[in-house]
């Protein structure tokens, strides 16, 4: 029989690594699968790391290396593998990789992040790696003393443009908005405006990448006039947002129209025991600090899910005798009276057992059986509900027993 992990994490960026740390530290047997040979996700391709609390003199790659070391220190197992499918069949989930390996886990945390969005213009695919790039950290040193174009105006685009000025002789930022309007934070805008190597082309977008073997021209289009201009350059860097890596989940969990994972307040998807953390889920802010927070949340939630489900499986579903499940709350006197009465009825002698469910702590079980008021009493035989009574009277309890 193959090993069954408590938690299986798909993706080794800040969200996945933080989830690994929190899960392992909670003594959960944890496996993390990462497609690339190096963990860290997109963050590892950045350079500066100025806004992670407490990390004043740490680069982005260094921070991710610290994340990895911290997770492994508490026992997170990290393997290189590309996940192809998740089958959430009941409590035990099956995760299949492209090399044909199958892993079993009680809970799954999807932290696959997002990848650079493509413009889809002529020449973009043809010149990828031949002048068209989506990563300044990866490719900047190919453009020493050359002129490059940056398409985009958000934080990533402007940060990457600033980084490129350390290598290129000139960086031209193509902005789709009116002059003086950018999506980047003010601090990045101020730095860009103050940098002598950076120039701007406003109200424009990239229409085509051209060249002879390597990029030598960016065709720019003014979105107001429609005029197209051949702009001479040696490279084109595109930073226009990201697309979530959720293709392998279509038909398995609920996605937004944009392909992001939908989650509740515990970051659980619509599939019980499957969670989402980081840039892959629908959220307001996508930063390293929020990804790490997501990882902590999902690991903690997964631990609670496992504990609740294992208790239910062992004491109710797999029980040989009839089971009376008393849904109660410590703030409800009637429910406490019901449980006290049941505890004094010597159920074992009558071939039954009592299981108490605190509706505040065990919301999952309460919701599963549509328990909306306490006290409520269920009777189960072979894991199936045979009777359900809300606000049971003393005679109803005795009759049910």
List residues bridging with 212 in a β-sheet: 214
DSSP state of 113: -
| DSSP per position, 74-92 | TT-EEEE--EEEEE--TTS
**Annotated catalytic, 135?**
yes
**Annotated catalytic, 139?**
yes
Q: Return d(Cα 121, Cα 134) in angstroms, integer.
A: 14
Distance set, CA 103 to CA 22, 92, 106 (Å) = 21, 10, 10
Contact status, residue 45 vs residue 135, Cβ threshold 8 Å = yes
Length of the chain: 401
Distance set, CA 151 to CA 49, 114, 156, 225, 235 (Å) = 22, 18, 11, 19, 11
Catalytically annotated residue among 135, 183, 358, 387: 135
Residue 231, number of CB atoms within 10 A of its CB: 17
Q: Across the beta sheet with 132-133, what order do the strands follow?
A: 132-133, 235-238, 147-151, 170-174, 198-201
- Look-up of token digits 């979530």: 244
Catalytically annotated residue among 89, 99, 125, 138: 138
Catalytically annotated residue among 57, 99, 139, 265: 139
Q: Which of 358, 322, 328 is nearest to 341 (CA)?
A: 328
Active site residues: 135, 138-139
């Amino acid at each position: 029989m193959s090993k069954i992990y408590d938690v299986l994490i798909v993706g080794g960026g800040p969200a996945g690594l933080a989830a690994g740390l929190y899960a392992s530290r909670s003594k959960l047997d944890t496996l993390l699968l990462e497609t690339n040979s190096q963990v860290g996700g997109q963050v590892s391709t950045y350079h500066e790391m100025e806004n992670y609390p407490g990390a004043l003199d740490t680069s982005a790659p260094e921070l991710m290396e610290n994340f990895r070391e911290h997770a492994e220190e508490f026992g997170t197992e990290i393997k290189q593998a590309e996940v192809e499918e998740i089958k959430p069949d009941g409590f035990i989930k099956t995760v299949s990789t492209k090399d044909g390996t199958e892993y079993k886990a009680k809970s799954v945390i999807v932290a696959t992040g997002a990848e650079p969005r493509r413009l889809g213009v002529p020449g973009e695919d043809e010149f990828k790696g031949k002048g068209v790039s989506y990563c300044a950290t990866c490719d900047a040193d190919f453009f020493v003393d050359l002129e490059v174009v940056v398409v985009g105006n958000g934080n990533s685009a402007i940060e990457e443009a600033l980084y490129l000025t350390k290598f290129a002789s000139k960086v031209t930022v193509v902005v789709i908005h009116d002059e003086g309007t950018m999506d980047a934070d003010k601090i990045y805008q101020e730095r860009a405006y103050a940098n002598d190597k950076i120039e701007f082309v406003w109200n424009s977008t990239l229409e085509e990448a051209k060249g002879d073997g390597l990029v030598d021209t960016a065709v720019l289009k003014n979105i107001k006039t429609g005029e197209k201009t051949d702009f001479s350059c040696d490279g084109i860097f595109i930073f226009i947002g990201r697309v979530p890596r959720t293709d392998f989940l279509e038909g398995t969990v609920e996605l937004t129209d944009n392909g992001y994972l939908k989650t509740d307040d515990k970051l659980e998807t619509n599939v019980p025991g499957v969670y989402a953390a980081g840039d892959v889920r629908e959220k307001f802010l996508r930063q390293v600090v929020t990804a790490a927070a997501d990882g902590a949340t999902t690991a903690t939630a997964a631990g609670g899910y496992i504990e609740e489900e294992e208790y239910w499986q062992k004491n109710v579903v797999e029980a040989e005798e009839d089971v009376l499940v008393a849904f109660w709350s410590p703030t409800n006197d009637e429910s406490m009276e019901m449980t006290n009465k049941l505890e004094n009825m010597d159920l074992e002698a009558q071939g039954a057992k009592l299981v108490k469910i605190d509706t505040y702590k065990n919301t999952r079980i309460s919701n599963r059986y549509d328990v909306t008021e306490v006290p409520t009493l269920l009777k189960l035989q072979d894991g199936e509900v045979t009777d359900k009574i809300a606000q049971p009277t003393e005679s109803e309890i005795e009759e049910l027993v």
